Structure 1
C-alpha cells in the first residue's frame, strides 16, 4: 500500500483530496496544524474502510516539517495543498502579510518537497502534486500576495518535474478557479449580511463562465487521477479546472 501525504487536509479541498486518495487504496497521512480538523478527515476515511494517520505539522516551519516527515516510514505521494489567502494590491499588502503568505504557500511547498523527495528517491519513485491556482496564469483583481505565491507554486512544479524526470518522480500542479469550500462560506458570512449573501454567491459563481463554482470533490477526483499510475506519463503539467475562466482570458 502506498502512503499519500496531504497537507492542510482538515477541510475543504485538502479533505476531499485525502478522501479520494484513500478511496483509491492509499494510506493517507494527514498533515495539518489543526488536529481537530484532521480528526474529522480521518474519521471520514476510516468510515469508508480506508486507513489514515494524523501528523500535526506547521508547513511554514522547517523544524515542524522535518519532524513530521521523520515520523513517516515512506512517502509515495505528496500533495502540497496547505495554503492561505490574502486580499489586496501591492499598495495595501503589508510586509508582514507578504511574509505570512510566502511562509505558508511558498516555503511550505519547499519544506515538504525538501523532506519528501529523499524518501521518494529511496524507492526510485514518487508523485508530487501542488495546488496552484488560475491566479498563477491570469491577473486577478486585488490578489497580489496570493497570486505571487501561486505563481511560485507553478514555477516550483516545473523545476521539480525537470530535476527529477529521470529519477522516477513526477510533479504536476492543479490550477482551480473558485471552489465552494468552508473558506468561501466563511468569507461570505463574515463580510456580508444574510440579505447580501445570495447576490454575492451569484457573483462568485458567475465569475466562472460555466456558471458555478467548482466543488472540492471535483478537485479531489483530478488530484487522485494525477497521483495514480494512470497518469504515469504526465509530469510538469499545470491542469486548469476552472469552469472556463482561462478559456476566455
Structure 2
C-alpha cells in the first residue's frame, strides 16, 4: 500500500490541521500528490507548522467558504498537478450553543465552513475528476450527524448536511465513475477536541479530561487523526472500488452503545 496513490492527485479542504492534515500526509506518504487548503496555522489551532509536511504536498491558505478563493486554489492545483483524482473535505468549526443561544452570524459561519466549503470543493473539483474518467470524494462528517449531545445545534446540523450531501454526490455522479463516501469520527485528539477539553475540563489537565471521556467509549480511549486518515485513504483508494454513498463510523463504538 505504500505507493497505492502513485500517479493520483488529491485536493484536501481543511488540510492545514487535524484530520485533514493527517489525511494529506498519509495520501502523500503513499505516493500521491496533494494540495491542501485551509486556514493559516496559528497558535489558536495548536498544530505543528506546515514546514514539516512531506514532499509532494503544496499548501494554499484561505477561507473555504469563499468561492473565489476555492476556485483559484483548485485551478492552481490542476495547473501544478495536471489533473485531480481525489477530493477530501475536512474543514470544520465547532462552536457551542443551542438554537436560542447561537447568533445568526455564528450559524452562518458554521454552515459556510463546514458545509459550503465541501460544496465549493466539489463544485470546482468535479469537472476535473470527470475529465480524468472518474475519482473519489471523501467527506468528513461526525457522529454528531447521526446522534447528538446538547448544545451543538449548528455543528450537528452541519454534519447532518454533510451526510446528505455525500449521498447526493454518489447518486448524481456514479455514472461518471465517481464514488462519494463519508467518515463519521467520534472523539479524536484534534485542535477542536482540545478546545472542548479546556472549555469543559473545569481547570483540569487535558489528560484527565480525556480519561473521563474515554470511559464512555467502548474502546476506552480517544482516537487519533492518523486513525481517521486510514479510513479516508481506504475510501479514496481502489480498494473501495464498489463503495459509494456510504458513511463509515470511526468512533470507537460510541454510537453502538445505548446511553440508558
TM over 0.5: yes
- Alpha-carbon spacing, 1:197–1:225, altered in 2? closer, same or farther (3 Å): closer
The alignment's TM-score, normalised by the length of structure 1, stands at 0.91
The alignment's TM-score, normalised by the length of structure 2, stands at 0.88
Preserved CA contact (<8 Å) 1:181 1:215? yes
Matched, 1:53 2:62: no
Corresponding residue for residue 248 of structure 2: 239
Matched, 1:4 2:13: no
Match 1:22 to one of 9, 12, 28: 28
Instruction: Report the CA distance between 1:25 and its aligned residue.
Output: 1.1
CA distance in 2, matches of 1:98, 1:39: 29
CA distance in 2, matches of 1:195, 1:52: 37
- Counterpart secondary structure, 2:58: strand
Q: How many residues align?
A: 245
Q: Which ranges of structure 2 fall in alignment gaps of 5 or more residues? A: 1-6
CA distance in 2, matches of 1:186, 1:136: 20
Q: Kindly provide the CA deviation profile for residues 31-83 of structure 1, in whole angstroms up to 9, marking residues without a partner as x.
A: 1231679993463312xxxx111122311001111111111221110100111
CA distance in 2, matches of 1:29, 1:42: 14
- Counterpart secondary structure, 1:209: coil
| More deviation, 172-181/184-193 | 184-193
1:203-214 aligned at under 5 Å gives the runs 203-214=212-223
- Counterpart secondary structure, 1:21: helix
RMSD: 2.0
Corresponding residue for residue 114 of structure 2: 105
- Counterpart secondary structure, 1:240: strand
| More deviation, 203-212/141-150 | 203-212
Preserved CA contact (<8 Å) 2:98 2:151? yes
